[in-house]
Amino acid sequence: MTGIQASSSSDVSYKTIDTWSADIVWIVTNYLPYGGARLKLNRRLTRMIECNVMRYNTSPLLDKEQRVRACIQKHEMLLNRFRPCLTLHGHECPVQHVAFSPDGKSLETASEDGAFIRWDVNTGFYLANVRGHSAPMEYLAFSPDGKLFATIFKDKTVKLWDVATGGLRATLGGHTDPVRYHVAFSPDGTRLATTSWDKTIKLWDVATGAPLVTLGDSDPVEYLAFSPDGTCLATASWDKTVKLWDVATGGLRFTLGEHTGVVKYLAFSPDGTCLATASEDGIVALWDVVTGAPRATLGEHTGAVKYLAFSPDGMCLATASRDKTVKLWDVATGAPLATLRGHTGPVEYLAFSPDGTCLATASRDKTIKLWGVAKGGRFLVTLADQHPDVVGYLAFSPDGTRLVAMTSLGHAVKIWSVAKLPDSLTGRIRELVQEAAQSSLKRTNPSFVETL
């Protein structure tokens, strides 16, 4: 099979994957480390191309260029339909959390076995395997510069680790009950925020490991996040409120109390002017960070909303609900843009690709789906090689070339390649489709079956 070659492919081991399912009609090798791919058109795909060309050729609503673009869009979707997957095995107990390093080259996984493992995302080999503590590990987070990461355990402690050496930098032990759910570094990496069953939020000096301030709440905090400029900390409490705190002084700025259910998730817009909150009451609220006033109430979901995310440009908000749908919203107006239907179970997680063109969603139906954000959230593909259990977390790598997923019960983590096909390959597809679209023949020439 000839094809598009990597620039340095002499030491690359190629693994050919053959599939003949109803949905996948092509043969592709694993994506190469240098961004290349091999692909071979087969007769089944050729027949589909012929049908598409004939359909678009006879459409009175499309001119020639529109027909060509429609064909290319359809075929590129087919050619991207299979995503090579790495499965990472190494933990003895279920994985609790995963995080990409800021440079996207490695992945850290934390497990109930008390260990964390660092993996090479290209090869799937692990680079380090550290027994962090005798207690189960619950969460980890990288510092913005990638030099440190923090881990939390069910033993009231937080640990700071040196990424380069794998050594323990500091143990933060000020909480009187187990640290829970979430930790967050400030955007400049100088502070760490933690929350605990003891109903307090603590801010720590990352350089020294010393506590800076303790913030009190009436109930345990479900989630917290720093604003993009690092001056404000938002916390979601079991008392159904969200609080905005001044990071410098520890003073309470605002209490946002519109929800009638526990707030499960919150996020700042990229420009830091807007805060979105998602609740078990099915309501998503947008708040003005400067004044604390509500901007909009997004109430079209019929089930609890557990997760949300702003698009990288901040113009769109995606919300995941137990009503089995995902909704896209216009942040400026609060108007609904699209409802993404296709999952047969509650949608638990979602993530935008870094360039904002793709949205990944994970559901209790044990599937992960990819959607094109433009033009109303066009469905792209259900990823192959699914987890046998419910997906418990989902994230893109910083460069957008990988998608990682874990389950709440599984010991393994899966990574898919989601890089776009090379421009030279899609360019050749365009040539072939143009040639077919301009042909006056009822069917394309059999030589259309060729290797790229």
pLDDT at 228: 97
pLDDT at 339: 94
Q: What is the mean pLDDT of residues 209-236?
A: 91
The proportion of the chain whose per-residue pLDDT surpasses 90, expressed as a percent, equals 37
Please state which CATH number belongs to domain 85-417: 2.130.10.10
pLDDT at 446: 38
Query: Whole-angstrom Cα distance, residue 436 to residue 186?
Result: 55
pLDDT at 36: 35
Tell whether pTM > 0.85. no
Instruction: Provide Rg for the chain, Cα atoms.
Output: 24
Best mean pLDDT range from 67-81, 155-169, 420-434: 155-169
* Domain residue ranges of the chain, discontinuous segments joined by +: 16-80+422-448, 85-417
Q: Of the ranges 277-286, 295-304, 361-370, 408-417, which one carries the lowest mean pLDDT score? A: 408-417
Mean pLDDT of the chain: 77
pLDDT at 325: 95
pLDDT at 124: 83
pLDDT at 265: 92
Residue 206 has pLDDT above 90, yes or no: yes
